[in-house]
Amino acid sequence: MAGAVLAVGAIGCAAVLATGLAAVGGACVQSQRAAGAADAAALAAADAASGSNTGIPCERAQQLAAAAGATLAACAVEGLIATVTVSVPFGMLVAVASARAGPAPSVDG
């Protein structure tokens, strides 16, 4: 009888641990998804700001974020540099990521 109780307890602990690890893994996936969407949206906005692509920079960022399953939370363009923030829902939580894109800074030597 004591062995059965111990086995049930061990299985219960393993199930709780597996559920927790699955939730953490899902959160990591959503975090990376948000980061990828932010990168793509920032690059699209910077390309539109530089004239290499047509469109209004923040509208292009919105389109790319939506295509990646994210929502554009903020977009700012200063000159040729675009900074965006996107959010991706994860259950009752939200994964948020920001990215910045533009020309490389000049190095005076």
pLDDT over 80 at 15, yes or no: yes
Question: Would you say residue 65 lies in a domain?
Answer: yes
Question: Would you say residue 7 lies in a domain?
Answer: yes
Question: Would you say residue 6 lies in a domain?
Answer: yes
pLDDT over 70 at 109, yes or no: no
In the chain, how many domains are there? Answer: 1
Question: Would you say residue 17 lies in a domain?
Answer: yes
- How would you list the strands of the sheet with 71-78, edge to edge? 71-78, 81-90, 93-101
Question: Would you say residue 108 lies in a domain?
Answer: no
- pLDDT, tens digit (0-9, with 9 covering 90-100), for 49-68: 988 888 899 999 999 999 99
- pLDDT, tens digit (0-9, with 9 covering 90-100), for 33-49: 999 999 999 999 999 99
- pLDDT, tens digit (0-9, with 9 covering 90-100), for 71-100: 999 999 998 999 999 999 988 888 999 999
Question: Would you say residue 109 lies in a domain?
Answer: no
Using the structure block, give the residue that is written with the tokens 């959503």. 30
Question: Would you say residue 107 lies in a domain?
Answer: no
**Which residue range(s) make up the domain with 56?**
2-101
Decide: pTM greater than 0.75.
yes
d(CA 50, CA 82): 10
